Structure formats: structure tokens, C-alpha cells
Amino acid sequence: MEKFNGKSVDRRSFLRGSAIFASALGIAVVPALAQQPKPAPKPAPEEEEKPKDPLGDPEKPKDGKLIDKEGREYKVCPQCAYNMYKQGKMWVCENCGYSYVE
């Protein structure tokens, strides 16, 4: 045990003192943080614009077929969720090779 100003300091009293100091410090900081100015809300735009998809949203004709950028019809692969293209009567995935006859 060490003595500090005539008092013995053991682990328990040191930790108790540290906890009291930390809580006092926390109480002093919380009101300062509460007084920080809040940012002003953004005014709502009159017309909400749709954000453009950077990957390019596939065109969806009225008949429900998916068309890629090159104008080819495609489906989504059930195995890997990549594009499947029609080769004759068969749909084949570009990525994993999954295929089926329609």
C-alpha cells in the first residue's frame, strides 16, 4: 500500500476515486454538448427529382420484358442473379452457365 497525503491508497479507493472523477467530467461535458447549434432543416424542393441510377436502370417495356443497353432481351439467372440471354430455344446465363429450355 502506498500513502498519499497521509492516506493509504489501495486499488478499491483508487477505482472509486476514478469513477467519481469520470462522472464529474461527464456531467460537465454533457451540457456543453447539448448547447451546440443544430443544423437547419433543408427546405423541401417543389419537384422531387428521381435520383439517376449510376449503373443504368434497365428499360422495362409495357409487356414486362427486360431489355439491356444493347437492345437484347434478358432474364435474371435464378442461380447467380446475373443476366441470361436466349440462344435458340435455350436461356443461358453469361456468368455461371446455368441454362434451361423454354
User: Residue 44: inside a domain, yes or no?
Assistant: no
Phi, psi of 18 (to 5 degrees): -65, -40
32: helix, strand or coil: helix
pLDDT in tens, 5-17: 666 778 887 788 8
User: Residue 90: inside a domain, yes or no?
Assistant: yes
- Report the domain count for the chain: 2
User: Residue 16: inside a domain, yes or no?
Assistant: yes
pLDDT in tens, 39-55: 777 766 665 566 665 55
Range of the domain at 16: 8-34
CA distances for 47 relative to 24, 44, 51, 52, 73, angstroms: 50, 9, 12, 15, 33
User: Residue 60: inside a domain, yes or no?
Assistant: no
User: Residue 77: inside a domain, yes or no?
Assistant: yes
Q: How confident is the model at residue 80 (pLDDT cuts 50, 70, 90)?
A: very high
For the chain, first and last CA: distance in Å? 85
